[in-house]
């Protein structure tokens, strides 16, 4: 009996956990479409590059197209054959975070005050408009290959990208304005050239007018059962019956024949009923 109670309790807790996970992530499903789709703007992103360890910046994060100066943060590091990468937009802290972890350690960079940087740049669109992500994989070095594998967005798998040449994929179905984290592995094989941009992995986030807005699950309003008014039984007025006084009725004298010996005198009692 105790074992049965434990099993039932475990199932109940699992159902509660699933409910709250569903509420937290809603019904968002990332949709990946191969190929480039024209869109209105790219706002920010991350670029992993210089796979030959040339000494230039291997990681950029900041405003899209990553121009120098205040538009980006960068870091130097050494790539290995397998590298765990993350890219996070922390909406609450208004910053971007990019990191690379491999057998040599972890390198992390941040780009802060993102909203102010977009305003200063004169961006037509804001964080609230984010609804599309572009993943770019460039494999243009001979006899070498970069693979972007086990890619997830907010814990949801979106696949592995490994094609040769220049390839783009567009991701929709996620409200990127609320913040997100992309994780994956950059696997490198072969001798890359000293060109820092021939081979790279790049993620940019922006706005497309053609993307259907992502809907947010809004709970249905809770209805309150209002009891019907209770009918109160009001007693009918009490009718009291009061007996009336006894009335003696004396009949008028009746002429009695001389030969009669009977007496016709009598009394009659008539009660009166009075209804209040």
Of 135, 134, 45, the closest CA to residue 96 belongs to 45
Q: 175 in a domain, yes or no?
A: yes
Residue 213: per-residue pLDDT? 76
According to DSSP, the residues that pair with 110 across neighbouring strands are: 97
Q: How far apart are CA 171 and CA 211, in angstroms?
A: 10
Residues 45-65, mean pLDDT to the nearest whole number: 96
The per-residue pLDDT of the chain, averaged, comes to 80
Residue 190: per-residue pLDDT? 96
Q: 223 in a domain, yes or no?
A: no
Residue 57: per-residue pLDDT? 94
Query: Residue 171's domain spans which residues?
Result: 27-207
Residue 100 pLDDT > 90, yes or no? yes
Helix, strand, coil % in the chain, rounded to nearest 5: 15, 40, 45
Residue 27: per-residue pLDDT? 57
Q: Range with the lowest mean pLDDT among 72-76, 107-111, 220-224? A: 220-224
Q: 171 in a domain, yes or no?
A: yes
Q: Which helix (H) or strand (E) holds 159?
A: strand 156-161
**Pure H helices in the chain:** 2-25, 114-121
Residues 204-227, mean pLDDT to the nearest whole number: 70
% of residues, the chain, pLDDT over 90:
64
Across 150-165, b (16+ Cβ under 10 Å) vs e yields ebebbeeebeebeeee
Residue 215: per-residue pLDDT? 56
Q: How far apart are CA 56 and CA 194, in angstroms?
A: 10
Residue 212: per-residue pLDDT? 80
Q: Are 134 and 210 in contact (CB under 8 A)?
A: no
According to DSSP, the residues that pair with 190 across neighbouring strands are: 144
Q: 166 in a domain, yes or no?
A: yes
Q: 188 in a domain, yes or no?
A: yes
Residue 248: per-residue pLDDT? 44
How many domains are contained in the chain?
1
Q: 229 in a domain, yes or no?
A: no
Residue 28: per-residue pLDDT? 83
Q: How far apart are CA 162 and CA 183, in angstroms?
A: 16
Quick: pLDDT tens for 165-202: 999 999 999 999 999 999 999 999 999 999 999 999 99
Q: 21 in a domain, yes or no?
A: no
Q: What is the number of other CB atoms lying within 10 angstroms of the CB of residue 222? A: 5
Does the pTM exceed 0.75?
no
Q: 155 in a domain, yes or no?
A: yes
């Amino acid at each position: 009996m105790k074992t049965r109670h434990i099993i039932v309790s475990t199932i109940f807790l699992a159902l509660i956990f699933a409910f709250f996970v569903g509420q937290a992530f809603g019904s968002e499903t990332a949709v990946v479409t191969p190929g480039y789709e024209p869109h209105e703007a790219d706002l920010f992103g991350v670029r992993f590059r210089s796979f030959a360890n040339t000494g230039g910046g291997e990681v950029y994060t900041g405003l899209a197209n990553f121009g120098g100066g205040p538009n980006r943060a960068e870091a130097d590091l050494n790539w290995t054959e397998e590298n765990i990468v993350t890219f996070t937009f922390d909406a609450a802290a208004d910053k971007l975070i990019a990191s690379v972890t491999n057998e040599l350690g972890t390198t992390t960079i941040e780009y802060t005050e993102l909203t102010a940087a977009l305003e200063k740049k004169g961006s037509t669109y804001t964080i609230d408009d984010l609804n599309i992500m572009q993943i770019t994989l460039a494999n243009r070095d001979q006899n070498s290959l970069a693979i972007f594998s086990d890619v997830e967005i907010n814990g949801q798998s979106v696949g592995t990208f490994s094609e040769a040449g220049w390839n783009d994929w567009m991701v929709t179905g996620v409200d990127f304005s609320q913040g997100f984290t992309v994780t994956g592995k950059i696997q490198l094989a072969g001798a890359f050239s000293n060109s820092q941009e021939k081979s790279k992995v790049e993620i940019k986030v922006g706005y497309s007018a053609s993307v259907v807005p992502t809907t947010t699950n809004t709970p249905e309003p809770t209805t309150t059962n209002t009891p019907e008014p209770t009918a109160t039984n009001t007693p009918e007025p009490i009718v009291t019956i009061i007996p009336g006084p006894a009335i003696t009725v004396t009949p008028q004298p009746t002429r009695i024949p001389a030969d009669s010996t009977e007496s016709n005198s009598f009394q009659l009692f008539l009660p009166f009923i009075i209804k209040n």
